[in-house]
Chain A
Amino acid sequence: MAEGSARIMKRLVPMWIAIIAGFVMLLSAFFPMTESWGETVGDVFNVVAAIAFVLGAGSLAKVNLAKISRRDQGWGYAAITLICFAITLVVGLGKFGVPQSTQFPLLGWSGEKDADGSIFGWIYEYALVPITSTMFALLAFYVASAAFRAFRAKNLEAILLLSTAFIVLLGRTFAGVVLTGWLPDWASGLRLENLSVYIMQVFNTAGNRAIIIGIALGVTATSLRILLGVDRSWMGSGD
């Protein structure tokens, strides 16, 4: 009995929620009478995701606190994580340093949390922005090491790939203009900058369209499997 009710709650109920919500979203795109139902489903998802954030934050706190209490290797970083989390939460919710809004100057806490002069804005400007920009900049280094390691002319396809890479790399910079800018107008199509545009607009577009169509059909088939209840592995294996 207990097993049966557990199976219903853990398997059947989630499956039917997914099926009903999925079909409502699909139909709301075509049948006006169901449009508000689709919006409701979207709102429900947003609310559930917001509530789940509390669970996520709780998990973050629990894992890091456990690390600190066990004095695991690197527990200091866990402490820094929790301190930064708490500070940002407090200054954001408390709107420390936020000036009054010009729209409502007499109301306390009426300004934006990230307004000029706010501590939250300071954290954004001088902590978050430099760190995220730095992480993004790492890509340049990793692209170089990946190019050195992986781009080998092993076969014909690889040679074509490398040739295309050279044309686009040069064509997207001033080097392309220097190398082929002397070509006469009747041969301007062979200039590297024009060649790279041609490659992007013709070959790349064709390849991308094929991949996009394949992905779209794959998404449709996967969604159908989930909507029809055929594929239940997203809930975990076993039936």
Chain B
Amino acid sequence: MISSALILCVISLDSSGASNFGLANTSINVAGNKVDLRGNIPLNELGQEISAPPAAISIIAEDVAWDAGGVIKVSWQPAAGTTSATKWIVERSEVLAAGQGAGQGLGQGAGQGAGQGPWTFVAEVPIAETNAVASKLSPDASFFFRVTAFSPNGSSAVTTTKSAATGYWNFFIGAKLPLFCAILLVSACVIYFILAARRGRPMKVRRIAALEAITDAVGRATEMGRSILFVPGIQDMDNIQTVAGLTVLGNVSRTAAEYDAAIEVPTSRSLVMEAAREAVQASYLAAGRADAYNADAIRYITDEQFGFVAYVSGRMVREKPAACFYMGCFFAESLILAETGNSIGAIQIAGTAESSQLPFFVAACDYTLIGEEFMAASAYLSGEPDQIGSLKGQDVAKAIAAIIIIIGVVLATGAAIAPQGAMPAALEWLKGVLGS
């Protein structure tokens, strides 16, 4: 009583009716927070009560259009003024079929009403953000959403959507429309020229030295009585470069069969081994040399990148093939293979679409197919009008890409020079069309 009598008590009431104790009437609770003498109302450093953060004023939930379904965007408007809240918690509650019970969530009591599932967590977003995306929802199911502001000392009242929103399933993913159009354009170019070639329109392809050299390389191996080594890359059949490599293998093995040269094909994937065996066997059959086909010459070594290259390098140094072909997807082992082949004096022809490995092949091999030349190899070697036509279509698509690049460069340069003119708007339009 004496201690409380000695305490100076200055009480004033503010307009909201909250007490405003002087600092002398404060104490520290167990958690180390400043509280009033009653010990249960949190106070700020000035001894003023910290009130619960204000709730959001309104909340809306809308379906995200042109998506794969099950995605709803929730946005809300926070109350004006400052707040002690640090985050928003967004929850959802599914609208159930008749007869199912009411929901609860976060200890805040029952849900909106009967016919709703329990409130479940959707997202936690920082206080500065005012939207969230709920995804992986059941397509065509309806949901109510609510948002609550949380501060270290409490939470606001919930703000709930007035009506349920549904994440409708759409037929097409709209965000990918530019990509889809680009694929259609390129495909149209390729198909048009395939059809044109079938109608007899002559198509000219420039000479690709590396592919012309295949016959010479196989002939050299035959003359020297040594084998041919063909490495179809280190990736699996799901990589288009491996498929392209196998098309070249078919051609090389056919030439080898005709010249009666031995061919060896070490592979880094079991599936590639099987596909390579099929390709080589078919080539030997087509060349009328089915008896010369040796399945064991096409063998699986190991999936491990450097284990594979250790085997191939050792094999090259021991067996000294006269011709080495590296056609497919390669990584760091490309230089090891190429330098080893160079050290044994083999003629080397390489082809890959891995731009990081092209410099090594160019430096160390006699001939290199660079990127799209490698992709064009099967068409070039077959000589069929259909396939040559597809190369022409590919070139037309490249010309279209070049024109778009030039237009973009002109617009970007113009926008940089004259930011106030029409160029920036045109540039933004082009970016929007291209989906960037």
A residues contacting B by CB (< 8 A) are: 10, 26, 29-33, 35, 45, 48-49, 52-57, 59-60, 62-63, 66, 74, 128, 131-132, 135-136, 138-139, 142-143, 145-147, 149-151, 208, 211-215, 217-226, 228, 230-231, 233-238
Name the B residues within 8 Å of A142 (CB-CB). 335-336, 339
Q: Which residues of A are found within 8 Å of B306, using beta-carbon distances?
A: 131-132, 135-136
Interface-facing stretch out of B78-86, B122-130, B271-279? B271-279
Alpha-carbon distance between A32 and B68 when the two chains are bound, in angstroms? 5
Of B98-106, B373-381, B413-421, B424-432, the one contacting chain A is B373-381
Residues of B within 8 A of A60 (CB): 299-302
Min CB distance B368 to A, Å, is: 12
The reply to whether A55 and B281 form a contact with Cβ atoms under 8 Å apart is no
From residue B411, how far is it (CB to closest CB) to chain A in Å?
17
Cα separation A9 to B87 with both chains bound (whole Å): 62
Known: A233-B251, A238-B282. 11 other contacts (CB 8 A): A32-B69, A33-B171, A60-B300, A60-B302, A146-B339, A146-B360, A218-B372, A218-B376, A222-B244, A224-B390, A234-B246
Which 7 residue pairs of A and B lie closest in terms of their CB atoms, listed nearest first?
Answer: A236-B282, A56-B270, A218-B372, A218-B375, A56-B300, A238-B286, A32-B68
- Identify the interface centre among A54, A149, A221: most chain B CB within 10 Å of its CB: A221
The SS class assigned to the B binding surface is helix
Q: Tell whether, in the assembled complex, residue B398 and residue A234 are in contact, meaning their CB atoms are under 8 Å apart.
A: no
Tell me whether A139 and B335 are in contact in the complex, defined as CB-CB below 8 angstroms, given that A218-B376, A221-B393, A233-B382 are known contacts: yes
Q: Give Cα A135–Cα B180 distance, bound, in whole angstroms.
A: 43
A222–B273 touching, CB < 8 Å: no
Asked if residues A211 and B273 are in contact (CB atoms below 8 Å), the reply is: no
- CA A49 – CA B333 in complex, angstroms? 23
Q: What's the minimum C-beta distance from B105 to chain A, rounded to whole angstroms?
A: 29
Residue contact A219 to B251, C-beta cutoff 8 Å: no
Residues of chain A with a CB closer than 8 A to B240's CB: 219, 222-223
| B:399-426 near A, CB below 8 Å | 401
Given contacts A136-B306, A151-B363, A217-B397, contact A226 B355 (CB under 8 A): no
CA gap between A228 and B188 in the complex, in Å: 13
Q: Residue on A with the closest CB to B314?
A: A77
Complex Cα spacing A55 to B274, Å = 8
Given A31-B172, A222-B243, decide whether A49 and B270 contact each other with a Cβ distance below 8 A: yes
The answer to whether B394 and A138 touch across the interface, beta carbons within 8 angstroms, is no
Determine the chain B residues whose CB is within 8 A of the CB of A62 once the complex forms: 296
Q: A31-B171, A32-B69, A237-B250 are in contact. Are A135 and B336 (CB under 8 A)?
A: yes
A213 cross-chain contacts in B, Cβ below 8 A: 398, 401
Q: How many A-B residue pairs have CB under 8 A?
A: 213
- Determine whether the beta carbon of A32 is less than 8 Å from that of B299: no
B187 at the interface (CB under 8 A from A): yes
B375 near A231: Cβ-Cβ < 8 Å: no
Nearest A residue to B363, CB-CB: A150
Report the Cα distance A225→B282, complex, angstroms: 20
How would residues 227 to 268 of chain B score, 1 for a CB under 8 Å from any chain A CB and 0 otherwise? 000000000111010011011001100100000000000000
Contact with A along B328-340 (1 / 0, CB 8 A): 0000110110110
Decide yes or no whether B49 CB sits under 8 A from chain A.
no
Nearest residue (CB) in A for B309 is A135
Q: Bound complex: CA of A55 vs CA of B306, how far in Å? A: 21
A44 to chain B, nearest CB (A): 11
A226→B241 CA distance, assembly (Å):
13
In this assembly, does B353 line the interface, its C-beta being within 8 Å of a C-beta of chain A? yes
Task: Determine if B194 is an interface residue (Cβ-Cβ < 8 Å).
Answer: yes
Contact B283 A219, beta carbon cutoff 8 Å: no
Indicate if the CB atoms of A235 and B282 lie closer than 8 Å. yes
B435 to chain A, nearest CB (A): 13
- With A135-B310, A218-B374, A237-B250 known as contacts, the answer to whether A224 contacts B382 (CB < 8 A) is no
| Inter-chain contact A217/B394, CB cutoff 8 Å | yes
**Residues of B contacting A233 with CB < 8 Å?**
247, 250-251, 279, 378, 381-382
- In the complex, chain B residues whose CB is within 8 Å of the CB of A49: 236-237, 269-271
Residue in B238, B281, B333, B374 whose beta carbon sits within 8 Å of that of A45 in the complex: B238
- Whether A225 lies near B379 (C-beta < 8 A) is yes
